[in-house]
Structure 1
Amino acid sequence: MKPVLESAGLDGWIIRLFEVIDEHNLPWLSALSHRCEQEFGDALVDLVPSYTTLLVVFNPLEVSPQQARAMICRILADLEPEDSTHTGEIHELPTWYDLSVGPELQRVAAQAGMSVSDVIKAHSQQVYRVFALGFAPGFAFMGLTDPRLECARLDTPRRLVPPGSVAMAGRQTAAYPTATPGGWNLLGRTTASLFDRNREGFSLLRVGDQVRFVPVSREEFEREGGDARPMEPLA
């Protein structure tokens, strides 16, 4: 691991710890986040972790870019990964897998040489780690999926993806917290409330959490308030 610091303007540094997405990156990124919180104190504005980097945003009226860089270098000099037994919260998201709300189930199955039922089984049996939040409030990038399911994004993104839609792209998976455009492969829909302005922190999922998608029937899905209206054809 050879960390690289990249300037993000007068109030930020991007710390690049890794070049490849891997679940073993997370203990290092979590440790770095916590050390930055301690080191910067009240001068810290925000921390934005991703699969391989951490963006540190600070108050330039309290800390200059040069001082911030020196602080980060001190942290990196003796950084150690967090205990791997720390797992964050565990979430089970009830999910209705069906072609009417997961129109790319067939696409993923065809590419993997599997049946739709086997795709559902492979996706739902995996326990995923939340690596980053972004794109939209409450949108959690999770991984890694079963390598057999790896599938590229759609060539033409949808203009609107319904909230709760469970999707995957590459070896990442996620659930759309709100209605937004999107180009990931839709597999189903969850009843989980992923973003709530009345919830502390707003987002149900946080970096480091573990997630499993639990298959439910249409009846269970609707009983829990799920929207079973089928997807509009892809324009």
Structure 2
Amino acid sequence: MSTLRTLPVGEHALLVELENGEAAGALHAELLRRRAAGTLPPVREIVPAARTVLLDGITDPRALAAELTTWRIPPLETGAQETVEISVRYDGPDLADVAALWEVSEHEAVRIHSAAEFRVAFCGFAPGFAYLTGLDERYAVPRRDTPRTSVPAGSVALAGPYTGVYPRPSPGGWQLIGTTDAALWDPHREPAALLTPGTRVRFVPGAAR
């Protein structure tokens, strides 16, 4: 089992720190599984992040913290969930720069990105913005030296080990490699976010404009 550390947050919450994002994702999946099975003590919210999971609305945080140290948490299962497919036009202004960083052609960069199976590790920054993992660590890329003052909604982007899709126009410093028409956030939909933590995602190359 991965090493974890629990920290109290107020009177009714715990922050669980783990070794890495994969361990955090595995704990998040196990918490959801146990809650669905009715074997998890009452927890109002389960919020994953890069290397932590926040548990809020706990009746007895100390008891749950002690229980967590006894769990055997299985690794994340590949392909265990339905996969959301997002059609992408790989027409981003930074695609050539990303291909150069990867030392491949633009065509090969598209193939690498679209061949990967992604998973939503956590959400943040803006409603509907998901941080997706799935690319090999050798494909991590730096953020732009100078962020853009406005990134169009639907921009598919890379930064560090993550892929993300901007749900609305906003400033941003990620490397833009493509565009999608998918609605990442719709307040009239349940859930409003298309991509929620744990969701499997594949990017499918579509026709360029």
Bin of the TM-score, shorter chain as denominator length = 0.7 to 0.9
Query: SS of 2:44's equivalent?
Result: strand
RMSD: 2.3
Q: Report which stretch shifted further, 128-137 or 147-156.
A: 147-156
TM-score, normalised to structure 2, is 0.87
Tell me what 2:18 maps to.
Answer: 17
Q: Distance in 1 between matches of 2:78 and 2:204?
A: 23
Letter aligned with residue 17 of structure 1:
L
Kept in 1: contact 2:116–2:202 (CA 8 A): yes
Would you say 1:74 and 2:67 are equivalent positions?
yes
DSSP 3-state at the match of 2:167: coil
Identical pairs, percent: 35
Q: 5+ residue gaps in structure 1?
A: 220-235
1:36 is displaced (CA, Å) by: 6.2
Tell me the alpha carbon deviations over residues 25-59 of structure 1, each in whole angstroms, 9 at most, x when there is no partner: 53333113444685442xx3321112421111226
Query: Structure 1 residues 33, 150: closer, same or farther in 2, change over 3 A?
Result: same
What is the aligned counterpart of 1:184 among 174, 181, 193? 174
| Distance in 1 of aligned mates of 2:207 and 2:151 | 21
Query: Equivalents in 2 of 1:112, 1:74: separation in Å?
Result: 44
SS, match of residue 206 in structure 1: coil
The answer for unaligned runs of 5 or more in structure 2 is: none
Amino acid at match of 1:21: G
The answer to whether 1:32 aligns with 2:31 is yes
Instruction: Report the CA distance between 1:84 and its aligned residue.
Output: 2.3
Q: What is the aligned partner in structure 1 of residue 185 from structure 2? A: 195
Inter-partner Cα distance in structure 2 for 1:32 and 1:123: 30
- Note the alpha carbon deviations across 1:141-162, whole angstroms, 9 max, x for none: 1112144432111122222211
The number of equivalent residue pairs is 206
Identify which of 75, 80, 85 aligns with 1:87. 80
Q: Deviations over 1:165-214 (max 9, x none)?
A: 10011121111112222111100101111111011121111222211111
Are the equivalent residues in 1 in contact too, given 2:83–2:200 (CA < 8 A)?
yes
What are the residue-to-residue correspondences of 1:133-172 with 2, within 5 Å? Answer: 133-172=123-162
How does 1:96-111 map onto structure 2 within 5 Å? Answer: 96-98=89-91, 102-111=92-101
Matched residue type, 2:201: V
CA contact (8 A) 1:119 1:149 kept: no
Is the partner of 2:97 in helix, strand or coil?
helix
Q: What is the CA-CA distance between 1:88 and the residue it aligns to?
A: 2.6
